[in-house]
Amino acid sequence: MMRGLAVDRRPLAIPAFRRMWLASVVCAMGGSFSLAAVPTQLFTMAGSSAAVGASAIVSFVALVVAALWTGALADREDRRTILLAAHCGLALTYAALWVQSALDLRSVPVLMVLVGCQGLAFGAIMTTMGAVVPRLVPVELLPAANSLTSLVRYAGSILGPMLAGVLIPFVGLGTLYLFDTLALPAVVWAVARLPRIPPASSPAARRSTIAQIGDGFRYLAGSRLLVAVLGIDLAAMVFGMPIALFPELAERTYGGPAGGGPALGMLYAAYPAGVFAIGLLSGTFTRARRHGLLMAAAVAAWGVTVIVLGLAQHLWLALAALVAGGAVNFVLSTFRNAITQALTDDAMRGRIQGALTVVLIGGPQLANLLHGTAAPIFGTGVVICAGGLLATVTVAAVVWRVPELRSYGLLTLRATGAG
């Protein structure tokens, strides 16, 4: 019984996926220090958080450009080659970050350029990996494969910054960049060991990159199920991601000190803690057949947890809501990825994954803008509750308008031959 509840390890029986996953574990544990090191160095050099905010914009623009361009490229070139080039580019970027720190250049423009290079590499990797995984594992294992990938990614996003904060006073920023640089060869080796992954032949391969990107968005718009999946996912991220309000909640609702404190740290940690905890029990849902229904239910449940957060007057209740929200969002992301990968023709997977990457990165950014703008007008609690309610209402409307989403799952895939 407990074996069925634990992490679903079935995709690890596939050698190519296993090598990629094990390499990603190494990278997540020893290659994510820059997530904290870069903002720390920028703030130290510029003496202002404005530089950190500007770097976020630079990274976002670079990531979007890379996601769209690489998505088109992945539909006409060998995907292994693209993934290898992207990881090599990321390794070189980490090496350059180490060099500029070791030389003590203290140049904000140089660091901004490297932030842009990092964004380009991340965008290319996220997009191409989304198109590669369905070629490595059978369609029925896509939920399990995506849950394993998400588990490692979230573990890295928790442990990397946490360890960086502990290590910076002892080893310095340059050493952290060196750790990132030394971790990337493991992933480069794993990608190099993959078989060639040429895309399905397509007449669009002879079209320009801009035209191919347009074809991808038209393909997306022509699929009711894909639009429904991305629509409810975007609703969850935009309406139900009040991360921008955590500092105000910590200080004014839960009595934390100005500028930070334990309450703020716990608010930020609760969501990824919930994600990681349910990831360790992925076997409870990865074998499910009703993928669409589970994704929709996860968005509705996320809306409810956000409403609880908005109403919570005690920190323990807010933390419980965020932990539960992280758990249901893990389910949401697992089936969102599995559905979009399985439902998309291989000849279009790169471009659809590029569009999905833009949505995944742009959604939280838009959420920060909306919540940060509305909270001073309507109040923090009201805005958070309204966001949770809008997320729940949106998923109900989409499921009513696109009823095939409820029945979409493994049986549908086998019946239609998708994937």
In CATH, what number is assigned to the domain containing residue 282? 1.20.1250.20
Predicted local distance difference test score (pLDDT) of residue 313: 93
Residue 323 lies in a domain: yes
Residue 202 lies in a domain: no
Instruction: Report helix, strand or coil for 307.
Output: helix
- For 1-23, how does the pLDDT look when each residue is reduced to its tens digit (9 = 90+)? 445 567 889 999 999 999 888 87
Higher pLDDT, 358 or 111: 111
Give CA–CA dist 101/195, Å, rounded.
37
Predicted local distance difference test score (pLDDT) of residue 131: 92
Structural contact between residues 147 and 8, judged by C-beta atoms closer than 8 angstroms: yes
User: Are 167 and 219 in a shared domain?
Assistant: no
Give CA–CA dist 394/177, Å, rounded.
42
Give CA–CA dist 352/71, Å, rounded.
7
Structural contact between residues 157 and 35, judged by C-beta atoms closer than 8 angstroms: yes
Residue 75 lies in a domain: yes
Predicted local distance difference test score (pLDDT) of residue 213: 87
User: Are 138 and 50 in a shared domain?
Assistant: yes
HSE at residue 211, side-chain half, CA atoms within 13 A, is 7
Crossing angle (nearest 10°) for helices 49-74 and 349-378: 150
pLDDT at residue 260 greater than cutoff 90 = no
User: Are 50 and 175 in a shared domain?
Assistant: yes
User: Are 30 and 167 in a shared domain?
Assistant: yes
User: Are 70 and 216 in a shared domain?
Assistant: no
Crossing angle (nearest 10°) for helices 224-239 and 291-311: 20
For the range 249-257, what are the long-range contacts, defined as Cβ-Cβ under 8 Å and sequence gap of 24 or more? 249/318, 249/380, 252/380, 253/313, 253/318, 253/380, 253/381, 254/314, 254/315, 254/318
- Provide the greatest CA pair distance for the chain: 61
Higher pLDDT, 155 or 133: 133
pLDDT at residue 417 greater than cutoff 60 = no
pTM: 0.83
| Residue range of the domain that includes 319 | 209-419
Structural contact between residues 65 and 362, judged by C-beta atoms closer than 8 angstroms: no
Give CA–CA dist 108/113, Å, rounded.
9
Give the burial class of 117: count Cβ atoms within 10 A of its Cβ; 0-12 exposed, 13-18 middle, 19 or more buried.
buried
Mean pLDDT for 336-359 is 89
Residue 159 lies in a domain: yes
Residue 126 lies in a domain: yes
Q: How confident is the model at residue 419 (pLDDT cuts 50, 70, 90)?
A: very low
Higher pLDDT, 48 or 323: 323
H-run or E-run covering 208:
none
Count of domains forming the chain: 2
Residue 255 lies in a domain: yes
Q: Last residue of a domain, which of 132, 166, 196?
A: 196
Q: How confident is the model at residue 394 (pLDDT cuts 50, 70, 90)?
A: very high
Using only the alpha carbons of the chain, give its radius of gyration: 21
Buried b (16+ CB within 10 A) or exposed e, 259-285: eeeebbebbbbbbbbbbbebbebbbeb
User: Are 286 and 383 in a shared domain?
Assistant: yes
Crossing angle (nearest 10°) for helices 380-401 and 291-311: 160
pLDDT at residue 198 greater than cutoff 50 = yes
Average pLDDT of the chain is 86
CA distances from 72 to 205, 345, 380, 418 (A): 9, 14, 41, 21
Give CA–CA dist 205/348, Å, rounded.
10
Mean pLDDT for 208-221 is 86
* 3-state class percentages of the chain: helix first, strand second, coil last, to nearest 5: 85, 0, 15
Q: How confident is the model at residue 90 (pLDDT cuts 50, 70, 90)?
A: very high
Predicted local distance difference test score (pLDDT) of residue 369: 82
Mean pLDDT for 327-356 is 90
What does the DSSP 8-state code read for residue 257?
Answer: P
Residue 37 lies in a domain: yes
Distance of CA 263 to the CA centre of its chain: 25
Q: Last residue of a domain, which of 163, 196, 229?
A: 196
Predicted local distance difference test score (pLDDT) of residue 2: 45
pLDDT at residue 203 greater than cutoff 60 = no
Q: Which of 4, 20, 2, 3 is nearest to 12 (CA)?
A: 20
Predicted local distance difference test score (pLDDT) of residue 84: 93
Distance of CA 152 to the CA centre of its chain: 11
- For 19-57, how does the pLDDT look when each residue is reduced to its tens digit (9 = 90+)? 888 878 777 766 678 877 888 888 888 887 678 778 888
Q: How confident is the model at residue 267 (pLDDT cuts 50, 70, 90)?
A: confident
User: Are 167 and 22 in a shared domain?
Assistant: yes
User: Are 186 and 293 in a shared domain?
Assistant: no
pLDDT at residue 401 greater than cutoff 80 = yes
Residue 321 lies in a domain: yes
Structural contact between residues 341 and 332, judged by C-beta atoms closer than 8 angstroms: no
In the chain, the percentage of residues whose pLDDT exceeds 70 is 92
Give CA–CA dist 42/114, Å, rounded.
12
User: Are 394 and 262 in a shared domain?
Assistant: yes
Crossing angle (nearest 10°) for helices 34-46 and 49-74: 140
User: Are 191 and 227 in a shared domain?
Assistant: no
Distance of CA 6 to the CA centre of its chain: 22
Q: Which two tokens stand for residue 243?
A: 């991360």
Q: How confident is the model at residue 410 (pLDDT cuts 50, 70, 90)?
A: low
Please state which of the ranges 7-21, 23-37, 86-100, 344-358 shows the lowest mean pLDDT.
Answer: 23-37
User: Are 243 and 168 in a shared domain?
Assistant: no
HSE at residue 307, side-chain half, CA atoms within 13 A, is 13
Q: Last residue of a domain, which of 165, 196, 227?
A: 196
User: Are 231 and 167 in a shared domain?
Assistant: no
